[in-house]
Structure 1
Amino acid sequence: MSDYNIRGYKDSDYETARELFSAGMNEYVPPVCIHVLKQPWVLFVLTCMFLCLLVSSKSLILPVLAVTLALALGRQLLGYCWSMYIDHCLKEDLRDISKTYMQSEGSYFWVAEADEIVVGTVAAKPSDEKREELVLKRMSVRKDFRGLGIGKALSREVLSFARQNGYRSVILNTLMVQHEAQRMYESVGFKKYIEFVLPTVYGKLINFTISKYRYDILPGS
């Protein structure tokens, strides 16, 4: 088991931190594809396509190839959309990590280091909705360093920061495919308080569900 330590972000961590975020988010492309494939309307369309081609061509090869092609194109489209989301994040708060988190009041960015390599990240910034609410963001742990408690340790750093700075609660968002992350947050003490489908045409079409979690900080804790 590798030892690790958690420290504040430094400018020399910039590229690694961004790469960790990108790699972590890209892991969700296959689960998202499976989630979309399970939607009733998708299964209905694929079934109709298969049966129509089977009846019209009287051959099994054509409908199988057509469905396979449709699945491949859908996979590419989802991958492209996901890449656009990652690029958007990299151009927003992760474009200048020091300015966004280290130089802004009430915000911070931590990294977990093992074997002199950054293997995890997490960030926190004040909520835009409530003054005494802190938002946990950009949690990511390198795949080969998971299971060592790094994610929990990073979460606790955010909770400690919240207590020290007078926040009343810490909130975060998870996606419907982030089951492992949800279990980790729940083990630390976060509780799900709302779940909703992304209110866009794309979100409603694929039932893109977001779960919001909160950790309430008791006075004097």
Structure 2
Amino acid sequence: MTHFSRTPKPSHSPWGQIDYADQIVPGVWSVGTPSHGGFLLSPERQTAMPAVARRAGAAYEEDAEWSLVALVFADEFSAISCAERTMADIARDHVRNYYPDEYAHLTGDTPTAETSHVLRRREICSAAIGQFVVTSAFGDWADWVPDGKVGIIAREAIGITREGHYEYGDVERRGLVDAARYDNRAIVSLWDDLNPALCDEGAAGPLFRKTATLTIQG
């Protein structure tokens, strides 16, 4: 195992002014700010990160990217307990779920849709490519939605990102569907499945052209 040197406390982070910092293993600082936090790596550690897992600026945010560091340096993170598990164990599960491509490269073990949230999202979403997918919904509190209805906006799914989110075309549709029917929608809500009444521009305002991303919960 490579031995890394301890480094001075970092003075800044990409997430803002550092409130606290803890060097949990040599060259890996866990930092927090008023808004966010994560791991900051020394140049030595950053160089040791495989290219597939390396992130720009040697910064690995606390929601997800930290797990890449803990998996790469699993020997050291196995000595750090978190509840009843080690950080390395938690990181392994996290990377498999949310970074399946990196996980396969780092471990030689290929995840499946049953073992990875992102692969499951990709599988679910791939069936809707070429169809109009509901991206947002409005209750009857909205001025263009009658009582007992849900107003929906849908866009054509033209692709899927590595994270399992849709990429959309430019044209949107607006429609109205019974609230009860909307409440019983599928995980991926398709325009054709809901069969809404199409809103014209006079009823719902002009159709929009903008960029958006839909997250399907795993």
Higher RCO, Cα 8 Å, sep 6+:
1
Flag whether TM exceeds 0.5 (same fold): no
Larger radius of gyration: 2
Normalized per residue, the structure richer in helix is: 1
**TM-score, normalization: structure 1?**
0.29
